[in-house]
A and B are shown apart, each in its own frame.
Chain A
């Protein structure tokens, strides 16, 4: 990107609330059911039906508000947002407009260089999702509408335009996802659409105070796409400005396959949504007791946990933030250290080997075939020199596929490190005897040849020789 410019980014995140039933009806919210089998007369907007608010969604919004240190409004109001669309059965969406349930929060984002920044969260409100229009039935003139998703509860989290780089936007999404997962209000799965993101992007010359014209980018279904789309969009806008043009305020779609944003065919009516308080729903009022109870039930949040990890385990800020991206990951780590193991070693095994293997297979830490107990046992085996670090990697692979305990694998495969000095001395002596030229080279000062000797011992012992011992014995024999 042209270094004279800076981006101004605000994000709107829609998170599907983890509940069994819809926001205003008792239909189930399960993913992937047959079309229109999870929609009742309320979700279908039939005549005479009325909404009844799902208590657990309200509680989830309160928790999320507490999670971003926001103000929880004691009174909030559901309004109707009126527009016609086939996937919007009532001709209006029930949402919160003037008075949302949560306002003025802060999200602390963690950047790759270990630094942190606070991003403002303007508001969080509760609203219902729309249905789904399917266009790929090979019918040019018609679409097919499935209302299973209609009425699924969402919280919309609107940030301030506080982000300045795509990296910050990515970090915001990661942290937001961590928080919704920590407090269990949403599974944070962007691919399945349970967490969605729209980005508002504008650019301006650095030092300029006023905001440029922004475009809203929709259809961002992964954190990577959020970042890619923002970069593309910023460059697109800069190119327009540099060519003497003006950025047009638009809603644009991200096309991941083509790596570009394109303008949506704009809905006319210029968005006159005619919001007004839904007369079917009285104001939502929260008691102090309810908010206090939610506070008391709050789990430790990522930022708190990160601080604790830095202090308690003397981890770097970076390691601590990686480990606290999910509650399951953090719990895994604590179970792994188990109050006794070296934290830094545990971090390495987790973030390098375990996360590497999980990522390769697209698995979540919940699905890890290796339990923290087993991984801890592996760390112990290295620590007490039963096996070498190198052998440990082989054992890890075996643990991953078989799910067996490392001790069992080491025993079954005879991988115990050879620490019997007389045995190792025998092997070394034989080597020196069989390779007089190389022995002479070492004696005359060529240190590099030592590595060759170590390699030969390892080969002879199938990698089981204790490398330190081999080194010591070699040095003692060759340069007494």
Chain B
């Protein structure tokens, strides 16, 4: 294994710019790593060797010509939920097998414009519905820290690829925790930005009012740089926010922790919570306290209702968003005896169980007679949840919580019980419902597995949030996966 693969994203970007290494060298090293490891880990579902090298060569030429851009020559993995022009995009569902979009998602387009290089498409829970990458039509992904365990989901392939040095960073998407939970399970950093920071154009939709793309990398600084490259207002997504792109990766170390008000929501620390998770989180609190931060107990009274509200809103939107997969215009078609039979056979064969389950729930809660009791009610509760945060942020600068209720669990352990699986999102969904930014950062080890904590910030306050996460990273001294 070439030691190049262990370079941080920002570090590599600087070395390429300074011509200490070339993008082709780095890209080749990563492709070799992928070729050696992917068969086992299954982080990538598509590796684009030729395209990656072409892009790397183009970057090296720009470096030579003195036209380097923000992330010139930096190789990335792309979650296979992002449409990539000319490269198959499947959402890891059989129903989309064979689909090659003619168009590019705005997030990936932005990344290519900064000079980044695409290595391939990473595995995920089918249509991003899952918390363990077990619903993928391409098979499960192994957690590089312990191959019997899941890397989390839905961005499990991206998390494993980053943790196992198969890329310097990867894109993820987060609807209820799909960036943060796998980041925590895989010992990496994952940022779910404020809803609207990253354009949703060209990202296969799961739940439109919640979906948000974000970076996954091995350090806060790397995630910050990547975030800078992928975010920004997009006129093609009218829910994207017209906010300036900041230099998120700069001056991360200039935050004084003295007087920083960190909120601990009492509803997140309840009896029966995992003792190890509690300890890791309180250790983080102690470190902040030691450097002068002020710890404030806050209340987010509607926390308990976040998961139920989420499991109404998300499946309802998904049921409608996934109606377009009907075998008529793209993807797989299974011929039936007539039109309706073809629809039914196509969708029954094409979707996995979890996707079907959510479509059924969504169509139930949207059905005539139930709309007010479920969807409308959930959207009201959502407003109350958002309001809880608003009130809390009047008192504190940032909120600290565990990211996930447990460390990475074993593959197959929870797959049979949907509600157990849904409860994985208990610490992440409220943030999603409120549209706020959340970042998961490694915070320690429990029985050989990494554990993360989550910092939640005010809307569009990612710069500050990243600085807090950066301070946490410095104090924690977390060691990434050690490979030879």
Cα A278 to Cα B366 in complex, Å, equals: 13
Residues of chain B within 8 A (CB-CB) of A145 are 328
Q: Is B141 an interface residue (CB 8 A)?
A: no
With beta carbons under 8 angstroms apart, the residue of A48, A82, A272 that contacts B105 is A48
Residues of chain B within 8 A (CB-CB) of A452 are none
Residue of B nearest to A281 (CB): B238
The answer to whether B324 and A52 have CB atoms under 8 Å apart is: no
Residues of chain B within 8 A (CB-CB) of A274 are 319-320, 363, 366-368, 371
Interface string of A260-283 (1 = CB under 8 A from B): 000000000000101110111110
The answer to whether B208 and A280 have CB atoms under 8 Å apart is: yes
Closest CB-CB distance, A454 to chain B, in whole Å? 75
Q: Which of B195-203, B214-222, B267-275 contacts A (4 or more CB under 8 A)?
A: B195-203
Q: Which of A83-91, A222-230, A290-298, A393-401 contacts B (4 or more CB under 8 A)?
A: A83-91
Give the residues from 98 to 119 in chain B that come closer than 8 angstroms, CB to CB, to chain A.
Answer: 99, 101-103, 105
Give the residues from 308 to 341 in chain B that come closer than 8 angstroms, CB to CB, to chain A.
Answer: 316-317, 319-320, 322-324, 326, 328-330, 339-340
Q: What 12 new A-B contacts, CB under 8 Å, besides A46-B330, A47-B96, A52-B236?
A: A41-B101, A46-B329, A48-B101, A48-B105, A48-B205, A50-B237, A52-B238, A53-B238, A90-B324, A145-B328, A276-B375, A281-B238
With beta carbons under 8 angstroms apart, the residue of A45, A50, A272, A282 that contacts B329 is A45
Closest CB-CB distance, B210 to chain A, in whole Å? 8
Q: Is A80 an interface residue (CB 8 A)?
A: yes
Q: Is A60 an interface residue (CB 8 A)?
A: no
Cα A282 to Cα B236 in complex, Å, equals: 14
Cα A175 to Cα B239 in complex, Å, equals: 39
Interface of A is mostly: loop
Cα A205 to Cα B326 in complex, Å, equals: 47
Closest CB-CB distance, A236 to chain B, in whole Å? 30
Chain A residues at the B interface, C-beta cutoff of 8 Å: 41, 44-53, 80, 82, 84, 86, 89-92, 145, 272, 274-276, 278-282
Residue of B nearest to A278 (CB): B208
Residues of chain A within 8 A (CB-CB) of B340 are 84
Q: Indicate whether A49 sits within 8 Å of B320 (C-beta atoms), given known contacts A276-B366, A280-B238.
A: no
Most buried by B among A41, A47, A51, A91: A47
Q: Is B224 an interface residue (CB 8 A)?
A: no
The answer to whether B205 and A82 have CB atoms under 8 Å apart is: no
Q: Is B399 an interface residue (CB 8 A)?
A: no
Closest CB-CB distance, A93 to chain B, in whole Å? 11
The interface size of chain B toward A, counting residues with CB under 8 Å, comes to: 44
Residues of chain B within 8 A (CB-CB) of A84 are 323, 326, 340, 343
The answer to whether A272 and B201 have CB atoms under 8 Å apart is: no
Closest CB-CB distance, B26 to chain A, in whole Å? 29
Closest CB-CB distance, B85 to chain A, in whole Å? 11
Give the residues from 45 to 83 in chain B that come closer than 8 angstroms, CB to CB, to chain A.
Answer: 82-83
The answer to whether B317 and A272 have CB atoms under 8 Å apart is: no
Cα A464 to Cα B192 in complex, Å, equals: 92
The answer to whether B91 and A47 have CB atoms under 8 Å apart is: yes
With beta carbons under 8 angstroms apart, the residue of B102, B103, B204, B328 that contacts A86 is B328
Residues of chain A within 8 A (CB-CB) of B259 are none
Sample (21) of A-B pairs whose CB atoms are under 8 Å apart: A45-B324, A46-B324, A47-B91, A47-B204, A48-B82, A48-B201, A49-B202, A50-B200, A50-B238, A52-B238, A53-B238, A84-B323, A84-B343, A86-B326, A86-B328, A91-B320, A91-B323, A274-B366, A274-B368, A275-B366, A280-B239
Q: Indicate whether A82 sits within 8 Å of B339 (C-beta atoms), given known contacts A46-B330, A48-B205.
A: no
The answer to whether A92 and B323 have CB atoms under 8 Å apart is: yes
Most buried by B among A49, A86, A89, A279: A279
Q: Is B299 an interface residue (CB 8 A)?
A: no
Residues of chain A within 8 A (CB-CB) of B105 are 48
Cα A276 to Cα B376 in complex, Å, equals: 9
Residues of chain A within 8 A (CB-CB) of B205 are 47-48, 280
With beta carbons under 8 angstroms apart, the residue of B89, B207, B316, B329 that contacts A44 is B329
Closest CB-CB distance, B393 to chain A, in whole Å? 23
Q: Is B301 an interface residue (CB 8 A)?
A: no
With beta carbons under 8 angstroms apart, the residue of B204, B329, B375 that contacts A48 is B204
Residue of B nearest to A83 (CB): B323
The answer to whether B203 and A48 have CB atoms under 8 Å apart is: yes
Cα A190 to Cα B103 in complex, Å, equals: 37
The answer to whether A49 and B201 have CB atoms under 8 Å apart is: yes
Most buried by B among A52, A91, A274, A281: A274
Interface string of B383-401 (1 = CB under 8 A from A): 0000000000000000000
The answer to whether B367 and A272 have CB atoms under 8 Å apart is: yes
